[in-house]
Structure formats: C-alpha cells, structure tokens
Amino acid sequence: MEFKVLKPFSVCCLFLLLVCACRNAKEDTQKAKSVATWNPFNIVIVTVDTLRPDHLSCYGYTRIKTPNLDKLAEKGTLFENAVCQVPITPPSHASMFTGTYPGVHQVRNVAGFNLDPSHQTLAKLLQERGWQTAAFVGAAVLAKATGLNQGFQTYDDKMDDPELGGDSPQVRAGRVVDRALEWLKKQSQQSPFLLWVHVYDPHAPYEPPLPFKNQYVRELYDGEIAYVDRELGRLFNAVETMFPPDKTLVTVLSDHGEALDEHGEPTHGVFLYDSTLRIPWILAGPGIASGKRVKDQTRTIDLLPTLLSLLGGMIPSECQGTSLLPALSGQKVNTAFSYAESLMPKIDMGWAELRAMRTAKWKYVRAPRPELYDLDKDPHELVNVIQQYPGDVEELESRLSDLTSTAAGRSEEIQSKTISAETERQLRSLGYVSAGSHRRLVLSGQGTDPKDRIHILQLLDEATSRQKKTPPAQRIRLLEQALKEDPTNSTLYLVLGTGYDMNRREEEALALYRSGIERQVGGTSKMYARIARICGRQGLVDAAIQAFELSLESDPTSIETQEELAVAYVLRGRMAEAERVLKGILVLNEANAKAHNSLGWIALKKRETPLAREHFEKALQLDPDLIDAYINLGMLYKETGDLERARHSFETFLSKAAKMDYRGSIRNVQRELDAVLKMQRHVGTRSPTAR
C-alpha cells in the first residue's frame, strides 16, 4: 500500500497532506506598562455577525424570543443607538479592536487587507499586562490571515463543522461556544482573561438548526438569532458560575446589521443605510448600571477605549474612539459624529465607493449622487433631503473631508496588502519573488453610483442565494444578463464562472476568466486559480501549474492554492518546488497540519525517516482528526519495525474513519493492520518473553 497523500486531481481538497499618531505603538506599550495597576477584570466580548438590533426582543422586537440576551441587557446597560464603521466583517472588527476608523487600521474590505502589527489592539495591550487571551471565531473571513489574531495566545479559526460539511467557511455557534467553554475550564482564578467569541450564524444563508428551523419557518433569519441566543446562554451561564461577577465584564455587539431587502440590498456590505450600520450593543459587569439604556449615538470605535477605561488602563494615542463610561452615569460623551465607509462596491463590483457621516439627526452619504436623511423624521432613510439643507451638508462634508483627507475632488490611494512585512520577508526567503505584490486602488468617489446598480445586486442574489431555489440554468441566464449590463464587475465574472463550471461548461468558464483577467476587472488571483483547477481536471498539469503560479503571484496568501500547487508539483515529480510551497504554507500558518503531513510524505520519499516521522506526529498533534496522517505514520512505523505503534496508528484511523466517510481506505488499512497483527503474533511465537 502506498503512503496516503494524493487524491484525484479535483476542484476541492487536493492535498491531504487605532487622532494624533505622533507616537509609535512601541512607545504606547511602554507608557501602558508604566501604569501602576489595572483592574484585573475578566473580559468576555461576544460579536454576533450580521445582527440587526431591531430583531432582538430587548430592542423591542416582539416576534422573537432572545431570553439570554434580554437577561444580559437587564443586568447591564444597553446602547440604543450604536453603529458600526463598516458594514463588512473584518474591517468592522478591526475598528472594534483598535478603536480606529478604517483609514487608520487599513483593513478595508473582506479580503486583500490585513491588520499591520504596528497597530495597538485590545488583545495585545491586555496580553502584555498578563491577561490570558483567546479568540474563537465562527467564520473563515476572520481567519488568522486578517491579522486580527494579534495578541491572542489562542486563536481558533478552525472551520471544521461536520454538520455543515468539511469545506464550509463557517462553523455553527454551538461549536464555537463549546470550544470557548473548553478553554474557560482551563483558566485559573489567578490571572484575568480576555475571551472573544464570534458567532456567524445570522449571516446569510439563513439556515437555523432544528427546532429553530421549524419554529421560525417564515423568518429563518430570526431563527438563526434565536439559536444563537440559546448557545450564548450556555456561555453566559458558564461565565457566571465559574468566575466572580464583580470581576467579569461581558459585552455583546454586532459587526453590522442586515438590509433584508431594504433600499434594494439583499444582505449587507454595499450601502451605508441604518439597516446595516446600526448594531445592538450590551455591556454588563462591575461598574455598569443595571437595566440602563443609553440613547446617545455610540460607535464600534468606542469599544476599546470603554473597556480600557473600565480596567483603568491607558488609551493608545492612535485611538479615535471615546470611552463611554461618562454616558453610563448619564453624562454627555463626544460621539456625535460617526464615520462609515464601504469600499466593497469599488473593489468587488467596479463601482464608486461610499462614505458617510452620521449624527443622531443626520445621515450624509458621499456618493456620485449624494444623499442626506433626517433620521429624526425619517429613520428608514426613504426621503433624500440633500437639496433642502445645504448648510448641514456643508458641515457634514467638511467633517468627512477632515477625517479622511479626501475633500471633494481629492482621491485617497490605498494599497491592498494581503500579508504583513514579516510574512512577506519569510516568503521571499523561500523564493517567492513576487511575494506580497500589492494592488493599488485609487478612491476618487467617482464612477457608477451603487444606487444605479441595485438591480445587479438583486440579480446576483437571485442567482446565488440558496434560499431562492432558482434553477441552475436560470441562474446562469440571470448572471449573463447582469454581466452584459455591468461588464467590469469582477464578482459577476467569478459567480458566473462558478455557474459554468458546476454545469460542466468548462470551456465557457475558461474563456470568461481569461476575458476578466485581460480586462483587469480585479479578482485576478481567484480567476487564475480557477483556470488552474479546470486545467488540472482536464489532465493539463503543466498548464495548471502555470496558472496556480500566476494566481499566487497576485495573492500569495491563499493556502488552498498553495496546497493545490504542491500537489501539481508532486504529480510532475518537482519535489523541491512542492517542498518550497509547503514551507510557504507554514510561513502563513505554522499550525497547518496538512502541510506537515505532506512535508512528511516528501521527507519519506527522500528517505529522511526521522524528519518524516516528526512531520506526521506534528500534523496529528495539530489536528488529531487529520486521519490520513495515521495511515502515513502507521506505514512508517511498520516499515521501521515499530509494530506496536503501527498497530495503534491503524486502529486509530479505523476508529475515526468510520465516522468520516473514508470507505475507500478502510479496507486497505484493515489489511495493513492484519499484516501487523500477524507479524506481532509471529514475533510473539518466536520470543515468548516479548509478550
């Protein structure tokens, strides 16, 4: 039997294997350390993705039961008018944890940006002062590569929910909470902790588990929220029982809301209306009034300064947010202006980006056709009154210009940067000549107004939403129609390409991706990777290698692409290159068990048995469910005469494989196990003392 490393060349799994920034972060750290004592409070931050406040009973919604969040709101203070800075997951979380607007932290969209280590984060500040820090995230969009893991000793971004399938980009709230509880049990009462729990469930598609799926059959989005509330109840109860309530702060907020078709937007990420900017926010614990409701506007950038104030810590100079502590005792806080932006229309759709300035009364949106809403009279932002209040518009525009250094007519130039400087250095040392090649983006505010492309958003939703149940051929027709109307929209290329590919129209998919690359619509790295996969399936391994290499040139952070390229190199016998790529994966994520497994396999090929064994054992230490590594290790032990360990490895594989759909390998491994048992008996017969 051959060592287990390669699967057929297929689309999926190929390799088993923080306004004045006049001081720098280092000085801030030194200053922070000079503070004599901080309150050693435990902090639990829960972010519930895509959660609209007006869908929680503590915010007045009557068609849902959220008893655990309601109870927390009764115990603590609820912010009635909280807003986020970006209606997109990674940038919104970056604003929370640095206390800065996106123009400072530079995490500007879902992908293609990461938080530079020069920024101070809550986790880094607390870890430096002796807090135990851990994060458990429920979606791949918050993976370590975002840089949000900085300061967290434990950062669990494993996406391996068996209920959702092996390659799902999310895990259910229950699994996230289970992992957080496991970690909490290991915490002593000696040192305080910071725990961040992120649950993704209310994000589309809305597919709550039973019984919520039946209880909320007409409102599946609410069903997801009710489910999340139940799971968070387990977390809140455990925290309450295990740790002193007078030393434990709990806060729950969302990264953004969900449009639910308001303003023609199915989900979130494009527009800056309150349907996606408003978030729920509850804060409970020592020093927090019970049952209080704060009406002032509060912002995600206020989270870090508020928590640091409660701890008695120093707020980093970079921080643009304000401590909300005075608001808790009814005093005014300086949160009157809140900036928001969305670059997703620009980066992912080829339209104009949107920026906004919000006060308790006004929402001003800077767009090719600007908007102004009177939130007092028109909370749903249905009547654009931009012509009627030129004086207010001028003030809001001037605030926006000052904050973003983008007065009308002046552009902001940003660099899409997928990896930190250190990672870039390490990749270069491995021979990635173009490591970290950056995409330059000019944000001029010019271009197609996203408002004029609402029908494209709706076509996209109709063609991609699992809930819509549109037949596959109809999905393709809708996307072809959308692309005809909006031919520079990279998202349409990618989605339509997937549609062609899934319907065995590979030549059309290839032609579409090549035309997207040629027209430079964006998404180049993904398009090359997809071309490579199609070539691979067609047996054109050299063409696949070339396309994978081009993909990694424009984005060297895709671990999946690296894994696939390594397989392709192996297939061509280019072992040294395969090894280089696998080492590149370990630079991006040293805890990548599959890369260790594959490096072990290559070491075996080179007859470097001790190194191979080291890699296989490391792979299993990192991921005890990477069951292919048990086969590899079992074979290695067998060949080196370590029969007892060989038997144990094969038996472990067989006990796990039954649950994980490995029917094809079970028979072979059973045969290997039988052989080992026979050899053991034989050895036993010859030398009874060995028993």
Shortest approach of Zn ion to residue 250 CB, angstroms? Answer: 20
Amino acid at 200: Y
Nearer to Zn ion by Cβ, of 45 and 547: the residue is: 45
Buried b (16+ CB within 10 A) or exposed e, 260-290: bebbbbbbbbbbbbbbbbbbbbbbbbeebee
Please give the C-alpha separations between residue 30 and each of 97, 148, 436, in angstroms, as whole numbers: 19, 22, 31
The two counts, helices (H) then strands (E), for the chain are 27, 15
Nearest to 79 by CA among 292, 321, 304, 377: 292
Nearer to Zn ion by Cβ, of 16 and 94: the residue is: 94
Nearer to Zn ion by Cβ, of 115 and 587: the residue is: 115
What are the structure tokens assigned to 14, written together?
């190929």
Choose the stretch contacting Zn ion; rule: CB under 5 A; options: 48-56, 168-176, 334-342, 552-560.
Answer: 48-56
Write out the binding residues for Zn ion, residues 498-517 only, by CB under 5 A: none
Helix/strand/coil for 203: coil
Nearer to Zn ion by Cβ, of 48 and 532: the residue is: 48
- Cα–Cα–Cα angle for 485, 486, 489, nearest 5°? 160
Binding mask 133-152 toward Zn ion (x if CB under 5 A, else -) reads --------------------
Choose the stretch contacting Zn ion; rule: CB under 5 A; options: 238-246, 254-262, 391-399, 557-565.
Answer: 254-262
Q: Helices in 330-468 by DSSP H: which ranges?
A: 344-349, 390-404, 421-429, 454-464
Nearer to Zn ion by Cβ, of 49 and 486: the residue is: 49
Binding mask 303-322 toward Zn ion (x if CB under 5 A, else -) reads --------------------
Nearer to Zn ion by Cβ, of 49 and 341: the residue is: 49
100 touches 301 (CB < 8 A): yes
| Nearest position to Zn ion, beta carbon | 89
Shortest approach of Zn ion to residue 262 CB, angstroms? Answer: 17
Shortest approach of Zn ion to residue 500 CB, angstroms? Answer: 29
- Sequence-distant (≥ 6) Cβ neighbours of residue 386 within 8 angstroms: 370, 371, 372, 393
Choose the stretch contacting Zn ion; rule: CB under 5 A; options: 86-94, 126-134, 436-444, 605-613.
Answer: 86-94
Angle of helix 593-605 relative to helix 575-588, nearest 10 degrees, comes to 160
Choose the stretch contacting Zn ion; rule: CB under 5 A; options: 87-95, 162-170, 307-315, 376-384.
Answer: 87-95
527 touches 497 (CB < 8 A): yes
269 touches 63 (CB < 8 A): no
Write out the binding residues for Zn ion, residues 629-658 only, by CB under 5 A: none
Task: For the beta carbon of residue 685, count every other beta carbon within 10 angstroms.
Answer: 9
In the block, residue with structure tokens 């607390």? 126
> Strand pairing of 248-253 and 154-156?
unpaired
Nearer to Zn ion by Cβ, of 255 and 265: the residue is: 255
Nearest to 343 by CA among 436, 447, 263: 447
Angle of helix 524-537 relative to helix 541-554, nearest 10 degrees, comes to 170
Nearer to Zn ion by Cβ, of 142 and 393: the residue is: 142
Choose the stretch contacting Zn ion; rule: CB under 5 A; options: 85-93, 189-197, 426-434, 656-664.
Answer: 85-93
Question: Rg of the Cα trace of the chain?
Answer: 27
Nearer to Zn ion by Cβ, of 256 and 533: the residue is: 256
Shortest approach of Zn ion to residue 565 CB, angstroms? Answer: 30
What are the structure tokens assigned to 179, written together?
């992992």
Q: Is 156 in the site for Zn ion (CB under 5 A)?
A: no
Q: Is 255 in the site for Zn ion (CB under 5 A)?
A: yes
Choose the stretch contacting Zn ion; rule: CB under 5 A; options: 83-91, 420-428, 459-467, 669-677.
Answer: 83-91
220 touches 208 (CB < 8 A): yes
Helix/strand/coil for 47: strand
Amino acid at 69: L
Q: Is 265 in the site for Zn ion (CB under 5 A)?
A: no
Rounded to an integer, what distance in angstroms lies between the CA atom of residue 223 and that of residue 569? 46
Shortest approach of Zn ion to residue 254 CB, angstroms? Answer: 8
Write out the binding residues for Zn ion, residues 197-226 only, by CB under 5 A: none
In the list 49, 353, 577, 623, the residue contacting Zn ion (rule: CB under 5 A) is 49
Shortest approach of Zn ion to residue 484 CB, angstroms? Answer: 31
Shortest approach of Zn ion to residue 205 CB, angstroms? Answer: 14
Nearest to 252 by CA among 100, 128, 75, 63: 75
Nearer to Zn ion by Cβ, of 254 and 297: the residue is: 254
- Total of residues contacting Zn ion (CB under 5 A): 3
User: Could you write out the three-class secondary structure of 342-362?
Assistant: ECHHHHHHCCCCEEEEECCCE
Nearer to Zn ion by Cβ, of 205 and 431: the residue is: 205
Shortest approach of Zn ion to residue 192 CB, angstroms? Answer: 28
Nearer to Zn ion by Cβ, of 49 and 461: the residue is: 49
In the block, residue with structure tokens 């890699």? 615
Nearer to Zn ion by Cβ, of 25 and 96: the residue is: 96
> Strand pairing of 292-299 and 77-83?
parallel
351 touches 453 (CB < 8 A): yes
Choose the stretch contacting Zn ion; rule: CB under 5 A; options: 84-92, 223-231, 483-491, 531-539.
Answer: 84-92
Nearer to Zn ion by Cβ, of 49 and 157: the residue is: 49
Shortest approach of Zn ion to residue 89 CB, angstroms? Answer: 3
Choose the stretch contacting Zn ion; rule: CB under 5 A; options: 8-16, 49-57, 557-565, 670-678.
Answer: 49-57
Shortest approach of Zn ion to residue 83 CB, angstroms? Answer: 14
Buried b (16+ CB within 10 A) or exposed e, 206-220: bbbbeebeeebeebb
Choose the stretch contacting Zn ion; rule: CB under 5 A; options: 44-52, 126-134, 204-212, 301-309.
Answer: 44-52
Binding mask 88-107 toward Zn ion (x if CB under 5 A, else -) reads -x------------------
Shortest approach of Zn ion to residue 277 CB, angstroms? Answer: 12
Site residues for Zn ion per CB under 5 A:
49, 89, 255
